[in-house]
Structure 1
Amino acid sequence: MIEVFSNNLKKVIASIAATAALTVTPFTNSASADDYPSKPVNYIIPFNAGGESDLSARFQQASFEKIAGVPTVIQYMAGAGGAVAWSQLNGMPNDGYTIMGINIPHTILQPLQKDVGYQTDDLTPVHYFHYTPDAIFVPVDSRFTNLNDLIEYAKQNPAMVTFSGSGSNSSNNIAQVRLDEMAGITTTYIPFSGTGPAITAVLGSQVMAGFNYATSGSNYGDKLRMLAVASDERLPAFPEVPTFKELGFDLVGGAYRGVAVPASTPEAIKRQVSDIVSNINADPEFKKKMEEGGFVLTDITYDKMDEFIAAKKKEYGAAAEKLGIVAKK
């Protein structure tokens, strides 16, 4: 499994070199659903190359032409945790040939924290196709062999269990806060600048544990022990790892990733982009890559989007209060 993931990552890096110099197409109002798509689609990733957003988009890219009949070209517009790109999305071409990766909880929590150039409702996601579940990792030689060991230690030693995670107010941070509340414990969260540094901190025993994404298990499976994963069911890539729900904690979630378009994009094209992503999700080759990497596929289509976003705004709005992002009412 680790070898498969590493091979996929090598392909990602090779492909990055071929596309990194590309730029965004100038704005155009020309949009027709009649022959869409009939030319390559620009796919903007609002982060640097190499992360989970990039990797899942690369997996999509491999199936895109088979499903849509045209290739997709991946480009990067990193900065401010995705806000640089999301704040510019509505000024980009609205003909369906420019699509952008979009993430939750980023696009809900960022505007609550400060002025980032956009509001959650300014953005138009058309499909959320997967999430990376939060999971607890410890070094393979850790004293904690299961989640109960960690919780019992935390009860006896308040604030002494340190968790690394990928940034403040991230999905990892939210999961840590929720587990503390559910288990009646107090732990200490230490934010890092991304998944890589957070996992490195676990491997180097700079922290006792990590609240990271389950996908990290594919890269470091022989060096880390995953104690629990925040998915509804056990992951095919890690069948031996219990879910938090199995262990008595209703903790399900992670970083949700999808595809968005400019708000002015015609409704018919929004639906067509959603259909393409949905069909890619059903592609056996794509499903295999994603499941082997520890991703969980979702199929939240354009017609379900309003309900999904409303529920997530409510969920993360409550989490924001616990994180101190907004004042309690």
Structure 2
Amino acid sequence: MSENPLQLIVHRMTWEAEGVLSAELTHPDGKPLPAWTPGAHIDVHIGGHIRQYSLCGDPYDRGTYRIGVLDEPSSRGGSRFVHTQLRPGQSVTVSVPRNHFVLEDAASYVFVAGGIGITPLLAMAREATRRGAEWRMVYGGRSRASMAFTAELSLLGDDVTLVPQDERGHIDLDAALTRLPGGALVYSCGPEPLLAAVEERCPADRLRLERFAAPTVERTGENGEFEVECRTSGLTLRVDAHTSILDAAESAGIAVDSSCRDGICGSCETRVLDGTPDHRDFLLSDAEQSAGATMMICVSRCASGRLVLDL
């Protein structure tokens, strides 16, 4: 599913809050960048890793991609590289933007952000304002100083409630999510405990989530073995009960873009040419999973005994 990557230049880096750096990326020749819509992210190749960062700038600015990166010392290396080694003037490889967190048309919106989860929601709030739609946001963080982009949010409207935990405790989700306006959609991004709490309080058909990590899911039964024909590579793989399709493909020498290996980032999304996937990702919508046109091969398996994939 991957397209040709882009080689961009780090134009500017800015402290947006304690522990949060933004990086603005531009084309070295000043060319316009591929278009994107609010909720989109890019894969960034940094420090030997591929990491996903939501675009938090302005989609109408075709000359710049902006990402916001939280410094996480316990991370697998991406954020630490951005904070300690990435600097203006350096070249960086990124993917064309992908969007599995689309801002759908709605009469109104409620945005619930936790920490660095503000990044996709900032672009959404800006777009909702452009559309003339009613919206409100509740945004929680550890402290006021750690909450990024608050000045930009204040320019978009006054229906933004900041909830610094050290001052006000946790977000009052009951107040935020009860008596939703008719036709309103709820968009939320942040740490898993916040998203789980939002899910408990919001009808599934009104809720759109983007996760940083895969939730724990109890699965019954055992995984079965199945066959995967990799049509492009001309190879047929036998995937055993303890191996993912991604691992089997890599062991066979097939190059596949991947990052999270938890079914949340979309890097390994692969076109299904035949067969029925057993979807186990946390990214595709119910409708997309039912259609079976693509699958995340890091976690999803086979429900039909055999798959034919565009690998």
Q: Give the TM-score taking structure 2 as reference length.
A: 0.30
Structure with the bigger percentage of strand: 2
Q: Give the TM-score taking structure 1 as reference length.
A: 0.29
